[in-house]
Amino acid sequence: MGAIPAEPQPVYVEGFMVPDNLRYHPGHAWLLPERKHLVRIGLDEFAGVLAGPIAKIELPKPGRWLRQGQKAWTLYRDGAKTEMVSPIEGEVVEVNSALAQNPSLLRQDPYGRGWLMTVFVPDEESTARNLLPQGLVRNWMREAVERLYARQPQLAGAVAADGGRPTPDVFAGLPDASWEAVTREFFLS
């Protein structure tokens, strides 16, 4: 294990990378099948930017059984915390220990070195039912970005007017924005 996922195809939606070779959960986690019954999980770029500079991440220990849609890991920032739900059901096989020393990998390389864990998934078919259909992923991401900007209009300036890349921390300098409330809304926790 420990291999870096295959290089994603660079597709951008509203400035956020959304690789076509991954499956997505509505709570902003991605999955990459590594082989039969084994998937790698990570946060999508939107989640990394929304989370901003993470001081610490708590991942489940290998051997823990995850239930799809239940809280599975915790992100900490500036004394606040938010949880994210598991996109699948299965047993944690390995966690990315590099994140303990360098949680910024979640934002710097969300689809590569910033992966979270690998999970053994005995029932891939039923788990896949709650993932986004490939044909809806781009619209889902577009709607997520629009919802974020509608909730906090001042965040709209965080992405260049020409549709460029988002700033790495959309909450910087916005003391009135509740990081915990907004992340819980988008992470479905």
**Whole-number pLDDT of residue 162:** 46
For the purposes of burial, counting CB atoms within 10 Å of the CB of 38, is it exposed (0-12), middle (13-18) or buried (19 or more)? middle
Q: How far is CA 80 from CA 42, 55, 57, 99, 178, in A?
A: 21, 10, 12, 18, 10
- pTM here? 0.87
Confidence at 7, pLDDT banded by 50, 70, 90: low
Is residue 106 within 8 Å of 51, Cβ to Cβ? yes
pLDDT of residue 164 exceeding 90, the answer is: no
Q: What is the mean pLDDT of residues 36-58?
A: 95
For the purposes of burial, counting CB atoms within 10 Å of the CB of 123, is it exposed (0-12), middle (13-18) or buried (19 or more)? exposed
pLDDT above 70 as % of the chain: 83
Confidence at 154, pLDDT banded by 50, 70, 90: low
Is residue 52 within 8 Å of 168, Cβ to Cβ? yes
Q: So what CATH class is 12-187?
A: mainly beta
**Whole-number pLDDT of residue 175:** 54
Domain ranges of the chain: 12-187
Is residue 24 within 8 Å of 142, Cβ to Cβ? no
Q: How far apart are CA 64 and CA 146, in angstroms?
A: 35
Q: What is the pLDDT of residues 62-97, one digit of tens each?
A: 999 999 999 999 999 988 999 999 999 999 999 999
Confidence at 160, pLDDT banded by 50, 70, 90: very low
Q: What is the pLDDT of residues 117-126, one digit of tens each?
A: 999 999 988 8
pLDDT of residue 155 exceeding 70, the answer is: no
